C-alpha cells in the first residue's frame, strides 16, 4: 500500500497514498451541475475512478496531515484518515480539488478503517449541495459511489456494532486546508514547515495577499476571521448546527466542511445539538456557534505566532472577529425580520423574539417563512408552525407581532425576507427517508428528489409543499439519525 501504515509523520503536510479500490463500485449519484462546473463528463469509467479504483493520468493522490482541538482539547496529529485527494481541476473559477471520502486507509487512519457508510455519505452529498443553494459557503459534492462492501459501525457507540453498506463521496473545494493544518506545525515546533504552508496557501488561494510582512499576515488572517464569521452567521440564519466544530473541521476558506452529525433546528432551541457525543456539555449547540468560531479563530491566530515579529498584533484580529460576527448576526436578524436598515431599538425586538421562540415549541423554518406573508399581526397566521400540545401564548405572541408590525410600518421588506428565510431545508428526517430507501431497496429516487427540491430552497414550489414544507413528524422525534446522531460515520 502506497502511503504505508498509520503512523506519526512529523514535519510533513501530506503523504502520497493510493486509494483502495471499491470491490463493486456503482455510481449512484452524480451532480450534473457540479460536473459541468468542473468540465467533467460522466463516462462508463466514472464509478470506478470515483470509487477509488483507477486514478487517471495526472492524478497524484495524497492524504493531508493536520492536527486539531477536538471538543476543546488538543488532539495532536489527526489528518485525512479516510479522505484522499485525487487532484485539482482548473475551472473558470480557479482550481478545484477533488477529494474522495471513504476510499481506504492512509497514514492518518489511526485505528480506523478509512471507509465511510452509505448513510453518512448521503448526508454529506445532499447537505453540502443544499447548503450551496441556500447561499451558505460550503464544500460541494460531485458523486456518490456505493462500494458493494459492508462496513461495521457502532452507530450510537453503545456496544452494538453492525454491518452497513459502504460508499465513497467525491467532494469538491478550492482546498481542504483547515485551521488544524497550520496548528500541527506550531505544536510540533516545525516553524519552517508552517511558513511554507502559509506561503503555499496564500499564493494559491489568496492571491490578493502578500504574507511576507507582519502587516500582510495580519491582513490575511483578518480575511480568514471575516469569512469564518460570515459562514457562521449563515448557519444561524438557516438554523444549521454543524455538530463538530473542532479546529480540524474549520476550513481556511470559511467553508462549511466535514458533514457529520449536523442537524437543522426544527423546534427553535438555542441549546440544541444533534450530536449525541456532545450531549453532556453541548459545546457545539446552535446558540454557541459564533462563540466557538471565536475560540477556533483564536487557536488559528496562536498557531501563527512564530511567523510574526510582533505577536501583540494577533489580539486585534480576534477582537475584529467578535465585532464582525456580532454585526453579521444583527444584520441577519434584521433581514429575517424584513427590518431594512437596523435601528438601536431593534435589539430588544430581536431578543424578545428569540425568548418567545425558545419558550414555545415552534418550527424555525416554518415560522420565519410564514412571517414573510403576514398581513395582520395575529399569531393565528402561524398555527402550522407550532408543534402539537404547545399552544402559543396568544397575548405574548400578538404583543410581539404588534411591535414588529409597527416597526416595519406594516410593510416588511418581503423580498429580502423571502431570500433570507428558506422554505425548504434538509431536515434530518428528510435525509433519513432518503437513506432508508437507499439502504433497504438501493433506491436513490428520494435522494434525487431532495437534491432537486433543495436547488431552489427559496422558491415556493407548491407541488412539494405538502410533503416537504412540514414540521418534524412524530416518528422522527426520537429516531436515531433524526434527533440523535453521533460521529460514527
Ligand atoms: P471527524 O470527526 O469526522 O472530523 O474525524 C476526526 C478524525 O478521525 C479525522 O482525522 C478523520 O480523518 C478520522 N476518521 C474518522 N473516521 C474515520 C475512519 N472511518 N477511518 C479513518 N479515519 C477516520
Ligand atoms: Mg473532520
Model pLDDT for residues 251-309, shown as the tens digit of each residue: 999 999 999 999 999 999 999 999 999 999 999 999 999 999 999 999 999 999 999 99
Per-residue pLDDT of 384-404, as tens digits, reads: 999 987 777 899 999 999 999
pTM of model > 0.75: yes
- 113 within ligand 1 shell (Cβ under 6 A): yes
447 touches 404 (CB < 8 A) = no
Report whether pLDDT(55) > 90: no
pLDDT confidence of residue 2:
67
* Mean pLDDT computed over 32-36: 97
Beta strands in 213-348 (DSSP E): 240-241, 263-264
Q: Which residue, 352, 390, 384, is CA-closest to 369?
A: 384
Q: Ligand 1 center to residue 111 CA distance, Å?
A: 10
What lies within 8 Å, CB to CB, of 144 at 6+ separation is: 27, 28, 29, 121, 122, 125, 167, 168, 169, 170
* Mean pLDDT computed over 1-8: 85
pLDDT confidence of residue 416:
98
* Mean pLDDT computed over 360-367: 96
Query: Where do the domains of the chain lie?
Result: 14-173, 339-411, 428-465
- 151 within ligand 1 shell (Cβ under 6 A): no
* Mean pLDDT computed over 409-422: 98
Q: How far apart (Å, rounded) are the C-alpha atoms in residues 271 and 298?
A: 23
The set of cell numbers assigned to 441 is: 431497496
* Mean pLDDT computed over 326-337: 97
User: Which one of the ligands is nearest to 164 CA?
Assistant: 1
pLDDT tier for residue 1 given thresholds of 50, 70 and 90: low
Instruction: State what percent of residues in the chain have pLDDT above 90.
Output: 93
Report whether pLDDT(362) > 80: yes
104 touches 82 (CB < 8 A) = yes
**Average pLDDT of every residue of the chain:** 96
Mutate to test the pocket of ligand 1, among 65, 99, 112, 249 (most ligand atoms within 8 A of CB): 112
- 258 within ligand 1 shell (Cβ under 6 A): yes
* Residue 115 CA, closest ligand 1 atom number: 19
381 touches 313 (CB < 8 A) = no
Q: Which contiguous run of DSSP H or E holds residue 75?
A: strand 73-77
Q: How far apart (Å, rounded) are the C-alpha atoms in residues 482 and 155?
A: 13
pLDDT tier for residue 224 given thresholds of 50, 70 and 90: very high
Per-residue pLDDT of 161-218, as tens digits, reads: 999 999 999 999 999 999 999 999 999 999 999 999 999 999 999 999 999 999 999 9
Between CA 452 and CA 351, with CA 412 as vertex, the angle to 5 degrees is 90
- 63 within ligand 1 shell (Cβ under 6 A): no
> Which is it for the CA torsion 216, 305, 320, 176, positive or negative?
positive
φ and ψ at residue 153, rounded to 5 degrees: -135, 145
Q: How far apart (Å, rounded) are the C-alpha atoms in residues 117 and 438?
A: 12
The set of cell numbers assigned to 121 is: 455519505
Q: How far apart (Å, rounded) are the C-alpha atoms in residues 445 and 447?
A: 5
Q: Which contiguous run of DSSP H or E holds residue 167?
A: strand 162-173
Per-residue pLDDT of 104-120, as tens digits, reads: 999 999 999 999 999 99
pLDDT confidence of residue 5:
94
- 260 within ligand 1 shell (Cβ under 6 A): yes
Q: How far apart (Å, rounded) are the C-alpha atoms in residues 472 and 267?
A: 9
User: Which one of the ligands is nearest to 487 CA?
Assistant: 1
Say whether 248 is catalytic.
yes
Between CA 105 and CA 115, with CA 111 as vertex, the angle to 5 degrees is 40
pLDDT confidence of residue 389:
75
Q: How far apart (Å, rounded) are the C-alpha atoms in residues 473 and 470?
A: 8
Q: How far apart (Å, rounded) are the C-alpha atoms in residues 454 and 264?
A: 14
297 touches 225 (CB < 8 A) = yes
Rg (C-alpha) for the chain, rounded Å, is 23
Q: Which residue, 96, 146, 154, is CA-closest to 121?
A: 146
Residue of 113, 208, 248, 459 with catalytic role: 248
Amino acid at each position: 500500500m502506497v502511503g504505508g501504515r498509520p503512523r506519526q509523520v512529523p514535519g510533513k503536510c501530506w503523504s502520497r497514498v493510493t486509494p483502495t479500490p471499491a470491490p463493486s463500485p456503482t455510481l449512484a449519484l452524480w451532480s450534473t451541475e457540479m460536473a459541468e462546473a468542473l468540465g467533467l463528463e460522466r463516462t462508463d469509467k466514472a464509478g470506478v475512478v470515483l470509487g477509488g479504483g483507477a486514478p487517471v493520468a495526472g492524478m497524484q493522490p495524497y492524504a493531508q496531515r493536520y492536527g486539531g482541538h477536538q471538543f476543546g482539547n488538543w488532539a495532536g496529529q489527526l489528518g485525512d484518515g479516510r479522505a484522499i485527494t485525487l487532484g485539482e481541476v482548473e475551472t473558470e473559477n480557479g482550481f478545484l480539488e477533488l477529494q474522495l471520502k471513504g476510499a481506504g486507509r492512509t497514514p492518518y487512519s489511526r485505528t480506523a478503517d478509512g471507509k465511510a457508510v452509505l448513510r453518512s455519505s448521503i448526508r454529506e452529498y445532499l447537505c453540502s449541495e443544499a447548503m450551496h443553494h441556500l447561499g451558505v459557503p460550503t464544500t460541494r459534492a460531485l458523486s456518490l459511489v456505493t462500494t458493494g462492501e459492508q462496513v461495521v459501525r457502532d452507530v450510537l457507540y453503545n456496544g452494538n456494532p453492525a454491518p452497513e453498506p459502504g460508499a465513497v463521496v467525491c467532494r469538491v473545494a478550492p482546498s481542504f486546508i483547515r485551521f488544524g493544518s497550520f496548528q500541527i506545525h506550531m505544536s510540533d515546533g516545525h516553524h519552517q514547515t508552517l511558513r511554507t504552508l502559509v506561503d503555499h496557501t496564500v499564493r494559491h488561494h489568496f492571491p490578493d495577499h502578500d504574507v511576507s510582512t507582519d502587516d500582510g499576515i495580519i491582513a490575511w488572517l483578518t480575511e480568514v476571521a471575516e469569512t469564518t464569521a460570515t459562514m457562521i452567521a449563515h448557519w444561524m440564519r438557516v438554523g444549521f448546527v454543524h455538530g463538530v466544530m473542532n479546529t480540524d473541521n474549520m476550513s481556511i476558506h470559511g467553508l462549511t466542511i466535514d458533514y457529520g452529525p449536523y442537524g437543522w433546528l426544527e423546534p427553535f432551541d438555542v441549546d440544541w445539538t444533534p450530536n449525541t457525543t456532545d450531549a453532556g456539555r453541548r459545546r457545539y449547540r446552535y446558540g454557541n456557534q459564533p462563540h466557538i468560531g471565536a475560540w477556533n479563530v483564536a487557536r488559528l491566530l496562536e498557531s501563527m505566532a512564530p511567523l510574526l515579529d510582533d505577536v501583540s498584533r494577533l489580539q486585534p484580529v480576534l477582537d475584529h472577529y467578535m465585532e464582525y460576527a456580532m454585526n453579521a448576526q444583527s444584520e441577519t436578524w434584521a433581514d429575517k425580520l424584513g427590518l431594512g436598515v437596523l435601528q438601536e431599538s431593534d435589539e430588544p425586538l430581536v431578543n424578545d423574539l428569540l425568548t418567545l421562540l425558545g419558550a414555545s415549541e415552534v418550527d424555525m423554518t416554518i415560522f420565519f417563512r410564514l412571517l414573510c406573508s403576514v398581513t395582520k399581526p395575529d399569531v393565528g397566521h402561524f398555527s402550522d408552525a407550532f408543534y402539537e400540545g404547545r399552544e402559543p401564548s396568544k397575548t405574548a405572541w400578538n404583543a410581539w407581532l404588534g411591535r414588529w408590525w409597527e416597526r416595519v410600518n406594516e410593510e416588511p421588506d418581503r423580498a429580502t425576507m423571502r431570500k433570507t428565510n428558506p422554505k425548504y431545508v434538509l431536515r434530518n428526517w428528510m435525509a433519513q427517508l432518503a437513506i432508508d430507501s437507499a439502504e433497504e431497496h438501493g433506491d436513490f429516487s428520494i435522494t434525487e428528489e431532495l437534491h432537486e427540491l433543495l436547488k431552489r430552497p427559496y422558491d415556493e414550489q407548491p407541488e412539494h409543499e405538502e410533503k416537504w414544507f412540514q414540521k418534524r413528524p412524530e416518528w422522527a422525534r426520537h429516531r436515531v439519525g433524526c434527533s440523535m446522531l453521533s460521529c460514527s460515520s
